[in-house]
Structure 1
């Protein structure tokens, strides 16, 4: 036994034939040839045929005889459909009921006649049984003019009404009927239960429909109702009608033109073997096994389903060819029977076994092929795909290709264990969820990205760049603030230095005044002093111009560096971050940062200007002249003189001030010192004024830094919002689901590493041994958790900016007091102050994290078993974009039976409608309650001489009694699972 199991076939359960008792329009003479050709010529072809007649099996017997003679070769299942009319009036007649009879019993014709004889009709003061003889008798009694038995039989059929209560009692009392008959009631308004519209008919309608196994109806609305998808739920159907029911539709042909042609091409499709048991299975699983439409439901794409497995050059496989169903394939068997071996071989043929699995230790690997690698030799697996192509792979893995895209997804035991381990939960499982998140986006929503990582980068890059740039701005501002803090600290020192310098100058002046000078030279002394002050003032100007000149020269160097290195590197950085722009090299040249103006010419001009001004002020030393003749007229504006001329005039005056050469030298030396010290004093005063302005400048810089800090967190919040939007398609799907899937969610949040940030500050920047608010280990962390963490993790950008400003205002001085260096250690303190500011306003400890949570718990913290549920939810319910075969080895591992039934069964049912699922399992619920389309049973014979065991396989569908028996024998609880499924229906599946 090796079949592909349950597949869709066209059934027509309701076709009349020549000689049907009522409304026979098939023509006179011998219409059988035309009738048989009409059935044989139907497209789509009819493979299961219910031959219908009223109250008798005559037409069925006639068709069966002709089929035995070689006709209707496509019809693999022929069964009688006996149409009855109940004694319940419908809109345009009486409610029609159909007895669909299993032909499996060789004596089924006699048995159904015996059952029909139990149905009675009272009329004309007599009782008439539902037999051919009594129907003839009733026809003649109703119309005495009828003498022909055939006409009397037909007329009797128009008069006979079956008591619903009588039929129900007869069915209940007959074990044969319960085992071999399925009841179908017409659902139409004319002669069906939909015609029972009056309130008084509500109860009888519900009783008839509850008694029936099948509804004869072709409309989509009827099907949706009877599946619990419209107006009532499946639970309500269970309470009122005994459960969901399949809707079947036949052509109800009474003439040749109607054969196999139901209205609107509403053909009946039943999934299963062409046996009556397939119809019983459709009663148990009406949603998955019965369909009315122009074609059967679509399942896996043919090109994405394995249709045949062939094992080549493997003497240890006795079943070398195994057909596979495109739906749910369940591989069962005793332990060591070759279940995982078959799954491994299919996975190997799909290139779905990872390199890590192939490279695992042969002694401990759970993979059959890895363990058996030394013994498989040249064995190969050839897979035929539904699309027509074939793939061949070696079973020892030597031709496995990591670069090739696997044609199936294989959830081997090793793979699941790796993903559900503590390490895997933070790596593989998260990556798989991210992949599903990515594929949940529409093609437009993926924005041309090829992976979750790329899409995430595209969505967040803008904000990450803004965060980086604002961070760099904060560092630069912090450096300037540190400089201003140094300046503030210099005010007191500079004030002292100015006072000392001023005192020194006054002392020099006093010393100079005490020198012995010629009488009558007081005017020359005053003139000398004036000249010295002017020269000092002009020297200060020269120094200023000199500083400007040095700046211009440095700017020339910076311009050169920017052109040659900085600007090209910035462009390369931009190009690397925006590689998706599509710009060519010439277009990128437009983005090279250049100076707006001609800075080279400008800087050269500025330097020349400074040189000119310096030369102009310095002047040239005049040629020696008459020492008694002034070089500068007394009435001249000294400020218009050059330094060289002033100093020459000062030298001339020094010679006339004293006759003593030594005094002259002393006077000249003091004059020079006074001039030098005054210049130094001026520099000190300038620095002091600059230092005094540092406080206000620092306040401005701090405001700018606070604003930059707020903008930085605005970018962080935007990044958080972008990630939330990234997960939105998945979240919308999860919100619409129920059960365990409802417990799976995604959280995107900001996380502050308070411990890491505070520890860095305490260990590297703050001397926690000093007395104060931040004394001891953990003091800083405690304050930060209370004052900054809430804003960092949940606040708006404005909240964060305000919180940091308040923190700085409250604790900055105390934090500075915990500095490991005294302010007097200027170099060390300055370096520390910059590092401290960079740390304080850093944001490296702030991260935007996304968590996949199950019942509010991060999957990284779940038990392996619960992570296993999440993994299966992922592949079965959420991975819509992946239409490749899904191969799973023992999905029930680590799951309790209730979880299997409550969570996995329905997910497998949904998944098999979209993709091929191949499952190795020991769980009866996963085989029976999923209504597996194909059961492959593995068997083994012991190995000989250290070789491999010999594996063999049989396969079929659950509608096959032999397969059902094996399921019950092998799987614990199998018979109970069957019983529970069939409990609500009066069908017997186990015989």
Structure 2
């Protein structure tokens, strides 16, 4: 029979069993005897001795109680335990004799209730013993005392709760002391209800929400280990028959899972933290995840020398370490090989973080020519899939798929600092990747990553942004040109020219021909004819001059028309190109809608109308040019006729005619200098230009105001980009809101905002302007001036962004004034081949502003957190938000954090994260390895004297050797730990 029992135990699924005999340990003793016999079968599972008892209780029915014992307990301790139990009525120690006496002392009605006749009980000792076993009850105080009296913690009280004959039958309020006494004495309770077993471990859920607080008060806030036993009454069950359960059969599939070594120490460890270590049900969620994602879990790592290696030192050779699928803590003294193992796992797992390796680097294990790392290769075996292999001297190629995520301490600091300063977008890319992973497939617009999605989503906004910035470039050219015209040298030059024209006119005034009266003598008929001819010729020449002036004005107007025609046609061509380009960009969307561009857009330019105007202007120009040539011929003809007519006059008349010609020549000279408003080099033209300069400051202000309006339009488009990107992380924010730990404790939020990094602003700006005067003197002072201005404004608002642009402009303007106080432009500050227009395009086009993603931790942006807090925030991000399932390897995540923060922040994060992925962590902190209840401890040791031998001991925290290592390494030995504990009040 015992052999049959051993065979059933070995064949069944459970790893640990308890033999629960009534009132004694006969079954356990029989098992031990058989196992000690040479021909006995081998027991492959763990079996604990146990006992089932019945307690006197203030209830109508029965109250059962169980006790579990260590499988290493001496037999005498079990006998002593039985002797310590007292029967309730008789007060006798528990024994077969006492049970017989108990039955014979019972009245007939009591015996008859249990199908016994008083006479038979009195006459037959065996019948009396059976009756005593059924009706006897123990004194509850003796039960509790007997459990406590078992030495070395080798006994554990175990009470049924709502199952048959359980403690739930006792009315707690009426019999408070009785119930609480058994609660305090029982670290293990049997229960099968979802709400109850969760309440025992301290987990609130919908099934226990109504009674959770009261229940916790009744158990004193101390979690208990809930179990659901098979209650098998035969070795092998009958399939489908719940009443014929055998070993490994559980009622209603309420299977007990305990995460611990299958040892007495393992059970004791589970009792300490049942929330993390037990589950009742078909399969624990973590095991379901592992089963469905085996390729994401490391099963083991092995290291060995390459074939033919002549290296004498041992190092890793022969190391083979199995890995738990939950939380693995790698511990060891300084220089023992902890980070070496983390680097190896990262390397063989194709991590691209090799720049942050602390052991596999040139000045350590990868010395000259990569030695001695070149002598070793590593292998990762996964729960499923092909193994990963790598030589320890060779980094994985950049195109290899990362099978693990490695987050060494240097990675934390670099990623955070680069994000805060804007030197790198690595963290931004991490955020984008996680955000994209949470976006539903139907909302991804066919994109394969975040950048493709942004490309598809923001194409229209980018087109609007490009167009607005083009308009800004045009306006900035006008502003820069206006500032150039306000240069003092230009006004001074015009004023000097006007003065020169005035001097020239004064000089001409001195040369004005003297007045000469017309001759008074009577003219001969021939002279009268000549004089009349001269008068007609003079009038005709004056008319020709007027006509010539009109032709000049017409030619100017017609040339302007032809220039306008060319401009209009060029703009039409640009419009055509833009429409063609836009059509190509939206072709995919139109195809999705079942439409083509002509279905929704009709575009026509009647260019012939413009060309008709151009042709007419061309004809008129030709005609006017021909007329100009004719006028020249007519003037030449008139000149010959003047000479002929003048010859016919007498001396006084010729003299008077010369006077008239001289006066006309003088008037022409005066008119040429005096000029007109539209003649640029004339006195009137220069005065008009001077008048225009007087209006330029007002015009400049108008154009700057227009620029502010255009900058506001550009900013508005940027806010639309920001808001669209904010919508992208709504699915992720929803996930966060559903996680109470992230939502309530850490208040982790994603934020899309418009950001500018002062270093990037400085870098671009100082590539355009010199750093040689005022606040812009020298590298440090110049960058400080930019930094204080960037940080002084809220760049997520239009008012703040425009204020920064104007502030930067004023900074540059003031620096330029120090160089040249009377100048309005920035030319004096510009570097070679750079123009003020480029500066204006940069600061008013908001080229330095871009929608960025960042994280807020407890309502504080990452930029304002301490280095330690930033690292903690990244851990929260990687562990709780990132949807990737591959193992994550952490190297000293506690760096820069105080112990209080570690316990309040990192411990809950790691406990939550290990439910979803494998975590391997190098740590020096007991709060992470012990308080997190790491499922596996790997203890690293390095023996330099023994040929540089590195060894790793792996196992659970309850493993005696590893438990001792944890105490020595992380706590500084047990005496040191106790010393600290004794000093705390």
TM-score between both structures, scaled by the size of structure 2: 0.72
Residue 302 of structure 2 is aligned to residue 310 of structure 1: yes
Contact 2:428–2:852, Cα closer than 8 Å, also in 1: no
Number of the residue aligned with 1:542 = 551
**Structure with more contact order per residue of length (Cα contacts < 8 Å, sep ≥ 6):** 1
CA apart distance, 1:217 = 1.3
> Out of 49, 53, 63, which is 2:17 matched to?
49
Report the Cα distance in structure 2 between the residues aligned to 1:611 and 1:61, rounded to whole angstroms: 124
Deviation at 1:267, TM superposition (A): 0.6
Q: 1:392 to 1:751 in 2, by over 3 A?
A: closer
Question: Cα 1:66–1:363, aligned 2, differ >3 Å: closer, same or farther?
Answer: same
Q: Distance in 1 between matches of 2:296 and 2:120?
A: 65
Aligned match of 1:612 in 619, 627, 634? 619
Aligned-partner Cα distance in 1 for 2:316–2:790:
65
Asked whether the equivalents of residues 478 and 838 of structure 1 are also in contact (C-alpha less than 8 Å), the reply is: yes
Alpha-carbon contact 2:83-2:95 (below 8 Å) kept = yes
Q: Distance in 2 between matches of 1:202 and 1:726?
A: 56
- 1:83 and 2:52 matched: yes
Map 1:627-666; keep pairs closer than 5 Å: 659=648
For 1:235-274, what aligned pairs fall within 5 Å after superposition? 237=216, 240-241=219-220, 243-254=222-233, 256=237, 257-258=241-242, 259=245, 260-274=248-262
Distance 2:962 2:811 in 1: 79
- Looking at structure 1, the residues matched to 319 and 837 of structure 2 have their Cα atoms a distance apart, in angstroms, of 76
Deviation at 1:414, TM superposition (A): 5.8
Query: Which residue is equivalent to 1:961?
Result: 960
Greater shift in the superposed pair: 833-842 or 224-233: 833-842
- 1:276 pairs with 261, 264, 276, which one? 264
Aligned equivalents of 1:396 and 1:813: distance in 2?
57
Alignment of 1:766-845 (within 5 A): 793=794, 796-797=797-798, 820=820, 843=846
In the other structure, the counterpart of 1:227 is 201
* 1:364-383 → structure 2 map (5 Å cutoff): 364-365=363-364, 368=365, 373-376=370-373, 378-383=375-380
1:8-28 CA distance string (max 9 Å, x none): xxxxxxxxxxxxxxxxxxxxx
Q: How does 1:59-98 map to 2 (within 5 A)?
A: 59-60=27-28, 76-89=45-58, 93-98=61-66
Distance 1:805 1:190, change over 3 A: same
Q: Is the 8 A contact 1:433 1:874 kept in 2?
A: no
CA contact (8 A) 2:942 2:948 kept: yes
The alpha carbon displacement at 1:51 in A equals: 2.8
When residues 353 and 77 of structure 1 are mapped into structure 2, their CA distance, relative to the original with a 3 A threshold, is: same
Q: How many residues matched?
A: 905
Q: Distance in 2 between matches of 1:742 and 1:800?
A: 28
Take 2:772 and 2:104, find their aligned partners in 1: how far apart are those partners? 116
CA–CA separation in structure 2 for the residues paired with 1:164 and 1:925: 39
Is the 1:545–1:610 Cα contact (8 Å) retained in structure 2?
no
Correspondence list, 1:191-230, <5 A: 191-197=165-171, 199-202=173-176, 204-230=178-204
Change (3 A) 1:243 1:713: same
Contact 1:865 1:895 (8 Å CA) reproduced: yes
Q: Which residue of 1 aligns with 2:311?
A: none
Residue matched to 2:950: 951
Distance in 2 between the 1:462 and 1:523 partners? 78
Equivalent in the alignment of 2:934 = 932
Report SS of the residue matched to 2:57: strand
Q: Deviations over 1:836-885 (max 9, x none)?
A: 9779856457676766677888767876655554554444444x323222
Change (3 A) 1:414 1:588: farther
Q: Which residue is equivalent to 2:471?
A: 473
Label 1:263 to 1:515 Cα distance change in 2 as closer, same or farther (>3 A). farther
Listed as ranges, the matches of 1:187-586 within 5 Å are 187-188=161-162, 191-197=165-171, 199-202=173-176, 204-230=178-204, 231=209, 237=216, 240-241=219-220, 243-254=222-233, 256=237, 257-258=241-242, 259=245, 260-298=248-286, 300=290, 301-313=293-305, 316-317=315-316, 319-352=318-351, 354-356=353-355, 364-365=363-364, 368=365, 373-376=370-373, 378-397=375-394, 400-412=396-408, 415=411, 426=421, 431-432=426-427, 434-436=429-431, 438-441=433-436, 442-444=438-440, 466-467=464-465, 469-480=467-478, 535=544, 538-551=547-560, 554=563
Specify the alignment match of 2:605 in structure 1. Answer: 597
CA gap of 1:744–1:804, structure 2 versus 1, over 3 A, is closer
Q: For 1:438, what is the secondary structure of its paired residue?
A: helix
Once the two structures are TM-superposed, the CA of residue 589 in structure 1 deviates from its matched residue by 12
CA contact (8 A) 1:494 1:688 kept: no
Q: Matched residues in 1 for 2:709 and 2:350: separation?
A: 56
CA contact (8 A) 2:774 2:815 kept: no
Q: 1:161 aligns with which of 130, 137, 141?
A: 137
- CA spacing shift, 1:818–1:841, aligned 2, 3 Å: farther
What does residue range 676-825 of structure 1 map to in structure 2 within 5 Å? 677=671, 681=676, 683-684=678-679, 701=703, 704-721=706-723, 733=736, 737=741, 741-742=746-747, 748=753, 793=794, 796-797=797-798, 820=820
Match of 1:114 in 2: 80
Q: Is the 8 A contact 1:928 1:977 kept in 2?
A: no
User: CA 1:648–1:877 in 2, change beyond 3 Å: closer, same or farther?
Assistant: same
Q: Aligned pair in 2 of structure 1 residues 94, 657: CA closer, same or farther (>3 Å)?
A: farther
Among 885, 888, 895, which residue is 2:887 paired with?
885
Q: Cα offset for 1:706?
A: 3.8
**What is the CA distance between 1:294 and its match in structure 2?**
0.5
1:913 counterpart (912, 915, 922): 915
Contact between 2:516 and 2:659, CA under 8 Å: does it hold in 1? no
Structure 1 distance, partners of 2:815, 2:319, is 79
Q: What is the Cα deviation at residue 286 of structure 1? A: 0.7
Distance in 2, Cα, partners of 1:818 & 1:102: 89
Q: How many angstroms apart in 1 are the aligned matches of 2:656 and 2:120?
A: 170
Q: CA deviation at 1:225?
A: 1.6
Hey, what's the Cα distance between the residues in 2 that align with 1:280 and 1:134? 33
1:910 positional shift:
2.6
Greater Cα offset, 48-57 or 568-577: 568-577
Q: Is the 8 A contact 2:20 2:52 kept in 1?
A: yes
Q: Are the equivalent residues in 1 in contact too, given 2:347–2:354 (CA < 8 A)? A: no
Go from structure 1 to structure 2 and tell me whether the alpha carbon gap of 1:550 and 1:976 turns closer, same or farther (over 3 Å shift). farther
Q: Does the Cα contact within 8 Å between 1:347 and 1:408 map onto a contact in 2?
A: yes
For residues 921 and 159 of structure 2, the distance between their equivalents in structure 1, rounded to whole angstroms, comes to: 38
Task: Report the counterpart of residue 103 of structure 1 in structure 2.
Answer: 71
Q: Does the 8 A contact of 2:816 with 2:828 survive in 1? A: no
For the aligned residue pairs, the C-alpha RMSD in angstroms reads 6.2
CA-to-aligned-CA distance 1:179-215 (integer Å, 9 cap, x gap): 1122222221763333445632455434432332022
Q: How far, CA to CA, are the matches of 1:766 and 1:662 in structure 2? A: 72
Distance 1:711 1:952 in 2: 66
CA shift at 1:752, angstroms?
9.1
State the Cα distance separating 1:104 from its structure 2 match: 1.8
User: What is the match of residue 127 of structure 1?
Assistant: 91
Give the TM-score normalised by structure 1. 0.72
Shift of 1:387: 1.0
Q: Matched residues in 2 for 1:813 and 1:972: separation? A: 63
1:84 Cα shift?
A: 2.8
